[in-house]
Structure 1
Amino acid sequence: MQPSSSSPGAVSRRSMLAGAAALAGATATAAATAVPAQAMSASASTPTADSASASASADVAASADSGRRARAVEGVAEARERLRHALDVQIVAFPQHGVVRTPGTAALLEKAAREGLIDMIGGIDPIGFDEALDEQLDVVFGIADRHGVGVDIHLHDRGEKGMKAMRGIVDRTRALSLAGKVTVSHVFCLPGLSDRELGSIAADLGEQDIALTTVSPSDSLVLPIARLREHGVRVGLGSDGVRDSWSPFGNADMMHRAHILGWVTDVRLDEELTGCYDVAAHGGADVMGLAHADFTAGSPADFVLVRGECLPQVVVDTPRRDMVVHGGVVVARDGEFVG
């Protein structure tokens, strides 16, 4: 489901699209145990609640061939429809080359939202990349407000640049009553804050129900998940790219990403390892507005089976997924997508 391309046209290099291969290697547990499947969030958007859920970012930057960019969104939408029995996908129209610095991009974002092909409008580093904080945020939030879609901003700026962008995001979310519809991914400006500063911005994020996602890239850049959750902030785990033109790494395997989260945060105890899984599974579901797949009455029939003794051991060993079930239907066996 992930088109391969050496240029950023088909699916954005920051794609979170879970394809057949990713689905077959999504998550699980049991010799005699089943583990609820997890979601892929964000992109580090934007980042879902089951083994076959994902946020896909389609590159819509304007270029000499703007039609190609539009076809990227249409292609992902067609793939979503074709595989709707096997996975759930939220599509983000993502301006990989900036909203302001690349003329024509705003019009393409508007078109994608107007035609109902997408679920969210993306943005990227309003200051560090576009060098136009107010202009980019006004465009992105304006489109979201007019067409009833969500917002997914990828924010890599650190220090005051990042915090200024965060304050702009909070202010516009509040002014346009978009609480619950905004996600900020990566958010590298938060980990270095003092406890007081973090508590202040976390309170604002919780009040406006702005979700965050992380790809746990390192111990210095991973979000302070527990502290954010104290303020009711929804935090999910994501996989940044799926072996594309951005990087040869990335497999959309959220169990592997839970393993990486545990590695970079240096966890040791069973409850800590289980917490890493929880962020990947239920945290992703919370970010994308999906029900938890947790084996309770009425929860989605989404789970994965692996051979293992317990959930913490599975997070550490990431064994092969013997079976992936989505909506009560087997969609993968022995690591192979079966349709």
Structure 2
Amino acid sequence: MLPVTPNRVSVVRSVRLETGGRGGSAYDVFIDAQGLITAVEPTTGTPAGPGEVYGRDLLALPGFVNTHAHIDKSWIGHPWQSYGGEGGTDGRIRHERARRDELGIPSLDITRRVLAEFVRFGTTALRTHVDVDLGLGLRGIEIVREAVADYDGAITAEIVAFPQDGVLRRPGVLDLLRAAAESGVEHIGGLDPASIDRDPVGQLDGLFDIAADTGVGIDIHLHDPAELGAFQFDLILDRTEALGLTGRVNIAHGFALAQVDAARRRDLLQRMSQLDVTLTTVAPLRLPQLPLHELDAAGVRFGFGTDGIRDLWSPYGTGDLLGIAWQYARSSSLVRDEDLRRVVELATTDGGPFTGTGRDTLSPGDRADIVLIDAENAMDALVRMPPRELVLGGGRVLHQA
């Protein structure tokens, strides 16, 4: 497990690229000392020399982008923890609060372990929610920053200061979120303004005031279903427009969008597109999936995330973002090549803007975030989820099978 200083790579020789219409031919990818791709050229068959990697004609994909993670609160590395407590969002919050100190959550060791699993499965960029509450203060944010710093820029991460225990129902949390924003986090979060705080106007006004004052983004967990959830979409969109926060607001989960009728969904998607309000999903199996074709037709950007990994909410989770993409595609009954390829694009190239890294297409000027995988093409990689043979982050080796 890292942290170690990853070895720099100057050339990845003989890999197959699907991006940019290059087809199945083999290419050499050249990387500069800053970890950027400088050239992509048909392979010459030159053997890999010092500081180079022989790609064995494996498929090269851009690094996976995890747009919704919680790397601060897993029990990975501990003995098996049996599921306990009550169900539902509030029940899981209470159970987590009752046991997290016993398990030493958050801790630097646990956070490092979660990151190492992400990297092993090909994630090179992520947006992670980090709990901020009256018991923890901002301690989790400092732990996450230290764990990410171990990689010395080879992976990139943005932090959401996340009020998992609610905002208004715990006086002082808004002050903590403002302090987190002023400390340099990229986003502040919210949680079910109607069902957790029971004051959707108050919670959202507080969050949006902080964002307008400090320049941070907003990333809100919204589990509330059907019309209750759609009502909160409206409130979020209204404030995004009124405060000029276009392009700075994300709604995570957003189950309601898939549960309202087609006309209501169309209207919401149209406003979201106009205001560039984005979505992230963890592709939950028990609920309808966000509709790929409708989101794409409306121009609403969305990304995939792993959510929690073996935490006090659920024993599930491996850290494999390609597995989440598979789950989304399978649950959505996507079978055509263009749709399967699109799902891989959402897990890689289109996820970049959620983490400030841009749309990586493995072209000159892009970060050299590269995953080598033994697959015929992107569709084959998605449906089989083969092991990741090599993972480069910013031109440095993060994992090698």
Contact 2:258 2:290 in 1 (8 A): yes
Distance of 2:344 and 2:374 partners within structure 1: 16
Aligned counterpart, 2:191: 124
Report if the CA contact (8 A) 1:61-1:96 is conserved.
yes
Secondary structure of 1:249's aligned partner: coil
| Number of the residue aligned with 2:93 | none
Q: 1:256 aligns with which of 319, 323, 332?
A: 323
Distance 2:356 2:293 in 1: 20
Contact kept? 1:60, 1:72, Cα under 8 Å: yes
CA contact (8 A) 2:252 2:281 kept: yes
In 2, are the aligned partners of 1:101 and 1:130 still within 8 Å (CA)?
Answer: yes
Q: Which residue of 1 aligns with 2:124?
A: 52
Q: 1:84 and 1:138 mapped to 2: Cα distance?
A: 37
TM-score normalised by length of structure 1: 0.83
Find the aligned partners of 2:355 and 2:368 in 1 and give their Cα distance.
17
Deviation per CA, 1:256-286: give whole Å up to 9, x if none: 1111112111222222221221121123224
2:375 to 308, 325, 329: 308
Corresponding residue for residue 282 of structure 2: 215
Partners of 1:162 and 1:270 in 2: CA distance: 33
Does the Cα contact within 8 Å between 1:159 and 1:189 map onto a contact in 2? yes
Query: What's 2:255 paired with?
Result: 188
Once residues 239 and 285 of structure 2 are traced to their aligned partners in structure 1, the CA distance between those partners, rounded to angstroms, is: 30
Q: How does 1:91-102 map to 2 (within 5 A)?
A: 91-102=159-170
Does the CA-based 8 Å contact 1:183-1:287 persist in structure 2?
no
Superposed, which structure 2 residues align to 1:134-283 within 5 Å?
134-218=201-285, 220-283=287-350
Distance in 2 between residues matched to 1:155 and 1:89, nearest whole Å: 22
TM-score by length of 2: 0.71
Residues 75-90 of structure 1: pairs in structure 2 closer than 5 A: 75-90=143-158
- CA–CA distance in structure 2, aligned partners of residues 52 and 214 of structure 1: 18
- In the alignment, which of 294, 297, 310 is matched to residue 364 of structure 2? 297
Give the conservation status (yes or no) of the 8 Å contact 2:360–2:367. yes
Query: What secondary structure is seen at the aligned counterpart in 2 of 1:271?
Result: helix
Task: State whether residues 124 and 154 of structure 1, in contact with CA within 8 Å, keep that contact through their aligned partners in structure 2.
Answer: yes
- In 2: Cα distance, 1:57 partner to 1:106 partner: 16
In 2: Cα distance, 1:139 partner to 1:100 partner? 9
154, 160, 176: which is aligned to 1:108?
176
Partner of 1:41: 67
- Gaps of at least 5 residues in structure 2 are 4-15, 18-54, 71-121
Counterpart of 1:71, as a letter, is R
CA 1:100/1:177 → structure 2, altered by over 3 Å: closer, same or farther?
Answer: same
- The structure whose RCO (Cα within 8 Å, separation 6+) is larger is 1
- How far apart, in 2, do the equivalents of 1:80 and 1:52 lie? 11
Aligned residue type for 1:81: A
* Paired residue type of 1:86: A
Q: Number of residues paired by the alignment? A: 301
Cα RMSD of the aligned pairs, angstroms, is: 2.2
Contact 1:293/1:303 (8 A) holds in 2: no
3-state DSSP class of the match of 1:85? coil
CA displacement at 1:43 relative to structure 2? 4.7
Mean Cα deviation higher: 278-287 or 145-154: 278-287
Residue type at the aligned position of 2:266: G
Aligned to 1:25: none
The residue type equivalent to 1:115 in the other structure is S
**What does residue 23 of structure 1 align with?**
none
